[in-house]
Amino acid sequence: MINSTSTYTVSDTYPYECSCGEHYRTVDAAYHCRKCRNYCVFGYCTHVVDIRNDSVVRGEEPTAEQWKEATIRAEARWAEEAEFIEFEKERHNQARAEWDAARERERVEMAEDEMWDIQDSFTK
């Protein structure tokens, strides 16, 4: 339990920071960060920093050139993913519209059948 007179900082409990900036209690947990898949341009955790002394404790910090190349690849990958998501949305919207139209045709046919049943009941 934290003493009310002490000052709590993130580095007290979560001193290890992964490539995407998430903080963890252990080096191993930071190095296997799942958020890096989405938030780091490399798609994986490249290094872990001990924020208490700003030293790299696992992995290797990428150079500026490596970051630049990875950023270009990541932006292309993200644009491709966004395009695919937009395509899937359109496909879903089209299928939904077709389904709605089929349900409306079914509703109209049922209403017509009811009217025929009513008419037939008077002619018998």
> pLDDT tens for residues 42-76?
999 999 999 999 999 999 999 999 999 999 999 99
Q: Is the model's pTM score more than 0.85?
A: no
Q: Is residue 1 part of a domain?
A: no
pLDDT at 90: 97
Question: Is pLDDT larger for residue 11 or for residue 32?
Answer: 32
Residue 8 binned pLDDT confidence (cut-offs 50, 70, 90): low
Residues 6+ apart with CB under 8 A from 2: 8
Nearest to 42 by CA among 85, 1, 75: 75
Pairing, β 23-24 against β 55-59: unpaired
Q: Is residue 20 part of a domain?
A: yes
Residues 6+ apart with CB under 8 A from 47: 18, 19, 56, 58, 59, 60, 61, 62
Give the type of residue at 24. Y
d(CA 64, CA 100): 53
Say yes or no: 123 and 70 in one domain: yes
| Domain count for the chain | 2
